Chain A
Amino acid sequence: MKRAPLPPGSLDNTDCRVLNALQDRLPIDHSPFAEVAGPLGLTVDELIARIARLRELGAITRFGPFLDAAAMGGAFCLCAISVPEARFDEVMTLVNAHPEVAHNYERQHHLNMWFVLACEKPEGIARVAKRIEAETGLHVHLFPKLKEFFIGFRVTA
């Protein structure tokens, strides 16, 4: 995934409006894009072409359903490992190989690898964490959420 900002002028006003509009939920019906395209003054085909271009440019990382593991009876858990610098790539490969690892970030800290486990069953968290510990020989700190306060942030493009 791209981490550099897009060059200035990559997105026009319509692109920004498309990005803002698509952070709201898309309707689940026969022509979901029609309801979004109308207020933007676009045809469905134009809207689809814009989304495809935004994806190619790397302005969006994903377009699709966001799932809640907990609602399915599963669980998410934030985890962190303190990885010796010399082993970073090796450990990253071992951690990322698990399909339960949904995201993984390097951060500047003694605990320098932070990843999220998404499991279909709550007991999966401890199982995968133990497996990662066995594979890497490193302790996995578990930070399950006890309470979530807000999750409505939007990027204004």
Chain B
Amino acid sequence: MSIDAIDRKIIAATASGLPLVPHPFAEVASWIGLQENEVIARMTRMQDVGIIRRIAVAPNHYALGMVANGMSVWDVDDSDAERLGARVGALECVSHCYLRPRSLPQWPYNLFAMIHGQTRDEVERKRAGIADLLGSSCRGSDVLYSTRILKKTGMRLSEGG
């Protein structure tokens, strides 16, 4: 999958957000010297191939009352990790679920599941539910609460490439 210099310009122009005007793609086009239809065609292509996942809002979980966010981590038997990961990922309370390598000896966990809730109690209840689901295939777990967002800009592209 490749993007050329013009795609790159479009991505860079919209990296901090889409302009809030009735015809935002015309506005973006005017910034970088293109026609609106070219911007629309290129962004549509990038969305079709998955480079752009979607154009949407990123809600601020905290502002919306989801103030407890715990990264639950699990040491799951490798032979069972894919099957169980799929089940954990399907839970409604889990926003992201990934299988990742362990970093032994400090980090024995291979399954990561983000749990959001209004309180830590709620997150702990949901975590207990995941523990039940994993059963004896899980050798250990932890939960890491975020205490501060230090940066949140999303992916940035260099314009030059």
On whether the beta carbons of A120 and B158 are closer than 8 Å, the reply is yes
On whether the beta carbons of A68 and B88 are closer than 8 Å, the reply is no
On whether the beta carbons of B2 and A73 are closer than 8 Å, the reply is yes
Scoring B49, B90, B151 by chain A CB atoms within 10 A of each residue's CB, the highest score goes to B151
Shortest C-beta distance, B43 to chain A (Å), equals 5
On whether the beta carbons of A147 and B98 are closer than 8 Å, the reply is yes
Per-position 1/0 for B43-83, Cβ under 8 A of A: 11001011111111111111111110001000000000010
On whether the beta carbons of A107 and B52 are closer than 8 Å, the reply is no
On whether the beta carbons of B56 and A24 are closer than 8 Å, the reply is yes
Chain A residues near B95 (CB, 8 Å)? Answer: 151, 153
Chain A residues near B16 (CB, 8 Å)? Answer: 62, 64
On whether the beta carbons of B61 and A155 are closer than 8 Å, the reply is yes
Shortest C-beta distance, B108 to chain A (Å), equals 12
- The answer to whether residues A108 and B3 also contact, given A62-B17, A63-B56, A145-B100 and a CB cut-off of 8 A, is no
On whether the beta carbons of A146 and B149 are closer than 8 Å, the reply is no
Chain B interface residue count: which class?
Answer: 35 or more
Chain A residues near B97 (CB, 8 Å)? Answer: 148-150
Docked CA distance A23–B57 (Å): 5
Shortest C-beta distance, B147 to chain A (Å), equals 5
Docked CA distance A93–B129 (Å): 38
In the complex formed, the residue of A with least CB distance to B95 is: A153
Shortest C-beta distance, B12 to chain A (Å), equals 11
Docked CA distance A99–B60 (Å): 22
Binding site for B on A (CB under 8 A): 1-6, 19, 22-26, 28-34, 44-45, 48, 51-52, 54, 57-69, 71-73, 76, 78, 80, 82, 92, 95-96, 99-111, 113-115, 118, 120, 141-151, 153, 155, 157
Binding site for A on B (CB under 8 A): 1-3, 11, 14-18, 20-26, 36, 40, 43-44, 47, 49-67, 71, 82, 85-86, 88-90, 94-101, 103, 106-107, 112, 114, 116, 142, 144-158, 161
Some 18 contacts from A to B, beta carbons below 8 A apart, are A22-B56, A25-B54, A28-B47, A30-B40, A60-B57, A64-B17, A66-B54, A67-B11, A72-B2, A72-B3, A103-B153, A107-B147, A120-B161, A145-B98, A148-B97, A150-B97, A155-B59, A155-B64
